[in-house]
Amino acid sequence: MDLLTTELIALRDVVNESGLFTVGLLLFFGYIMGKLVTKIKLPEITGYIFAGLIMGDAVTGLVHHEMGESLKFVTDLALGLIALTIGGEFYSAKLKSMGKEIVVMTIFQVGLAFVVVSVTMLLFGVELPFALLLGAISTATAPAATVAIVQKLRAHGKFIDYLYGLVALDDAGCVAIFGVVFALSVGMLNPEAHGAGQLILHAFEEIGFSLLIGAFAGWSIHMMTRKKNGTNEILLITLGIIFIETALAIILNLSPLMSNMAAGALLINASPRNHRIFRSIEPLTPPIYALFFVIAGTELNPHVLFDKDILIVGFAFIIARGIAKYSGVRLGAKLTGMTGCIKTQLGLCMIPQAGVAIGLVLLIQASPMIAGLSHLYADMIAQMVNIILLSVFVNELIGPSLARHAIMKAMEED
């Protein structure tokens, strides 16, 4: 046992002396764990997080906290690309083709989840800024599991069309709400903030400047790539501008999520040819996202999940979110005159939760604005991270089964 401990310490020292070695080890071990968990029907993201957990201070200590801090740029990059992709869903022609029913159902299920979860968290003793942040994160839905089920069942028809429309708009709505709530919450947590009016003004200033920077970045990419045909040229220009824009947003204490979402929305609407920009980025995203979630795993403390208070608040979050998501879709469907399986079953497909939710809570943890206040709210931030991780774990277990049941019922009715 002593020999194993000595070897682990020696390996840890090698890992922590080389950032490149660390990145390679994190990617490789993340890949292995991602494949292993798919054998038990869990998403690869869960495996990435487990890989980071095993390599972090909580288990082996191969990657210590300081090394994780030095790789923080990966978190910024991954979240920037996620937001850029979400912004690409705001294609005006696509939104028009979905019809008012999809928009109304999205507004109701996102809005109801935010309100119900925020109020529930307040009732369970969570401070107002963190209750609002948890409410905003609760609105995110993971479409990957549901889409995989649709493809496996070879399902098609009106129900599937509405399902795809709903999941396409869901995360965009989530990021929009989160941007507003994050700005307000930072103001509430800042001891120097004074008055509700100042908080609201600060929030709108932050959102406005974030959107302005993002729109300028999107316009710059469009103008510089519109006459380019080479994929390599397009990729270099796009990544260069996105990196600069994301860094500026962080330096200026703005929202990189909002700015990148604005960049994506402007790009997709500026020209139909800009679909190629998003396609050029796609091959780069798997390793960046994998590394992002493995690094996130290194920061986890699994002992907190056995804390009775965390479990109580966490399951209150899960139950409140599930009820609100289902009820929001059902209410929106009823108000727009939808009947049958769309009204009764579609809400069950909104339960899965994964990547965006984890990304948002880790953004809070890593944000320079929050880091400056971490000495005051370290325990609450840790509690919030573990509530979301518990929710993701539970919802990724039960969510796909509920979605499969809903799709099967819809196929029977068709």
pLDDT surpasses 70 at 355: no
Mean pLDDT of 342-350: 77
The answer to whether 313 touches 387, Cβ cutoff 8 Å, is: yes
pTM here is 0.68
Q: Which overall architecture, per CATH, does domain 73-413 show?
A: Up-down Bundle (1.20)
Residue 192 is predicted with a pLDDT of 58
Q: Which residue has the higher pLDDT, 32 or 191?
A: 32
And the tokens for 259? 């700015």
Task: Provide, rounded to the nearest whole percent, the portion of the chain with pLDDT above 70.
Answer: 74
Predicted pLDDT at 255: 75
Instruction: Read off the amino acid at residue 381.
Output: I
> Do 186 and 369 meet the contact criterion of CB atoms below 8 Å apart?
yes
Rounded to an integer, the average pLDDT of 361-377 is 63
Q: Among the listed ranges 72-86, 216-230, 369-383, which one has the minimum average pLDDT value? A: 369-383
Top pLDDT among 147 and 180 is at: 180
Instruction: Give the pLDDT mean for 144-151.
Output: 64
**Is pLDDT at 328 greater than 70 in this prediction?**
yes
Instruction: Locate 290 and state its tokens.
Output: 């994998």
List alpha helices for 340-373, DSSP H: 341-344, 355-366, 368-371
Alpha-carbon distance of 405 to 118, in angstroms, equals 29
219: pLDDT confidence band, cut at 50, 70 and 90?
very high
- Note the maximum CA span of the chain: 69
Residue 353 has pLDDT above 70, yes or no: yes
In the predicted model, what is the mean pLDDT of residues 143-147?
Answer: 62
pLDDT confidence of residue 115 = 92
At 116, the pLDDT band (50, 70, 90 cuts) reads: very high
Residues in CB range of 210: below 8 A, 6 or more apart: 179, 249, 254, 255, 256, 258, 259, 262
* Per-residue confidence (pLDDT) for residue 126, from 0 to 100: 84
In the predicted model, what is the mean pLDDT of residues 218-247? 88
Task: Specify whether the CB–CB gap between 353 and 402 falls below 8 A.
Answer: no
pLDDT at 216: 93
Q: Could you tell me which residue, 156 or 137, shows the higher pLDDT?
A: 137
Average pLDDT, the chain: 77
Residue 281: closest CA among 223, 214, 231: 231
Collect all residues with Cβ–Cβ distance below 8 Å to 154 and sequence separation of at least 6.
none
Q: Which of 153-162, 179-188, 266-275, 338-347 has the lowest mean pLDDT?
A: 153-162
Domain residues of the chain, as ranges?
2-70, 73-413
Instruction: Please tell me which residue, 58 or 250, carries the higher pLDDT value.
Output: 250
Decide if pLDDT at 211 tops 90: no
pLDDT in the model for residue 106: 84
For the ranges 18-27, 196-205, 217-226, the one whose mean pLDDT is highest: 217-226
pLDDT at 117: 92
What is the CA 1 to chain-centroid distance, rounded?
40
Residue with the larger pLDDT of the pair 125 and 202: 125
